Structure 1
Amino acid sequence: MGTDLDAAQADMRFGYYSGAPGIFASSAAWLAAAVVALQGSPKQAVWVLFAGGVLIHPVSVLLAKVLGRPGKHEPGNPLATLAIATTFWLIFSLPLAYGAAILRIEWFFPAMLLVIGGRYLTFGPLFGMRIYWVLGLALAVAGYLLGSARALPAVSAFVGATIEAVFAAAVLVLGRHEVRPGISFRPKPLGDTV
């Protein structure tokens, strides 16, 4: 079982450059929201972060391809369902963060830091990399502290952008030597259970 999991994680690391392009794309979305919060309005910045979030996957796939990786996993990789599930979990959490913004606009970005931090915790087993535990906890702690301090929305968004930029660079360095695992996954026949 460990070998199957190791191979699936290696395939994810190779295909998506260990997730670094996605962290960079997310950092850019946070940065755009921070700039809008600073120069425009925090309410507009909320929508900028949402719009940027929609673009994270396609931008990260493009960046992975530019960096020489396929930007996808092998068909039948059993971790693909975990990746999809974390995406739905994120989408289902967005109304909670938006509800926080309705109560207090200063709570939106800290709430999103908590949500995104929680999602990154699942990337630890998805990619087989402990750094995602540190990234997830760093975002969550930042979200809690910024929310408690009622930090300005632009400050919270800049903090999110900075944390993700730093970790994106670290994950990029960690993932640069990944090689194609050389395994193909057989999809389970219909009717099989987990």
Structure 2
Amino acid sequence: MTTITNDSLAAAQQDMREGYQCGAPGVLASALVWTMAALVVLNTGASHGVWALLIGGIFIHPLGLLLAKLAGRKATHQKSNPLGPLALENTLWLMFSLPLAYGLSLYRLDWFFPAMLLLIGGRYLTFQTLYGLKLYWACGISLAIAAFVVLATQANAVAGAVAGAVIELLFAALLYKQAQQAQAS
């Protein structure tokens, strides 16, 4: 069992921030997938939008890594980083949760996008530990609030997909700014 001290946690988080540009490329990649899903909903319907988000989600991590590398980042963390397993574990948790969101869509199609907003938002809460950035709490909570608003207003599927896209685009921009500021200092 590895004991993590405050200093080792801070160093591990710094390694994650440097390697993945504060996670901004991954959030941007996710925002692009939400945008694609919204466009699919608009053009072909909600059921196709469900598949666009599920299938597009497969490409978020590789696209995020590509964007990080294009920005000159190593797009990896040190193998000894004790936070590495958390990154994998929260990805697996999300994958294991996807059948729940899909199952909801079979019962009520309009519940799929709010369910995904909640799942993704919950996942981002753990990113605060991964990156040491409270901005991820704000992102996760914003996605959760959007889910509840979409449900409470009985908004259509496109509203849920657009909410995910807009919120993640905003937070990607904020994270890129934070990464630039950290690199400049």
With structure 2 as the length reference, what TM-score do the two structures score? 0.95
For residues 123 and 59 of structure 1, the distance between their equivalents in structure 2, rounded to whole angstroms, comes to 18
For residues 149 and 115 of structure 2, the distance between their equivalents in structure 1, rounded to whole angstroms, comes to 11
Alpha carbons 1:119, 1:136 under 8 Å: kept: yes
Partner of 1:175: 179
For residues 97 and 148 of structure 1, the distance between their equivalents in structure 2, rounded to whole angstroms, comes to 18
Report the RMSD for the aligned CA atoms in angstroms.
0.8
- Of residues 70, 78, 92, the one that matches 2:74 is 70
Show structure 2 runs of 5+ residues with no match: none
- Of residues 78, 81, 88, the one that matches 2:85 is 81
| 1:91-170 map, 5 Å | 91-170=95-174
Larger radius of gyration: 1
Report sequence identity in percent: 47
Deviates more, 1:68-77 or 1:170-179: 170-179
CA-CA distance at 1:176 after TM superposition: 1.5
CA-CA distance at 1:150 after TM superposition: 1.8
Deviates more, 1:50-59 or 1:143-152: 143-152
CA-CA distance at 1:52 after TM superposition: 1.2
Alpha carbons 1:13, 1:178 under 8 Å: kept: no
* Greater helix share, structure number: 2
With structure 1 as the length reference, what TM-score do the two structures score? 0.90
Tell me how many residue pairs correspond in the alignment: 179
Query: Which 4+ residue blocks in structure 1 deviate beyond 6 angstroms?
Result: none
SS of structure 2 residue aligned to 1:16: helix
For residues 146 and 169 of structure 1, the distance between their equivalents in structure 2, rounded to whole angstroms, comes to 23
Q: Does 1:31 align with 2:35?
A: yes
- Letter paired with 1:160: G
Deviations 1:91-131 (A, max 9, x none): 11111111111111111000000000000000001100000
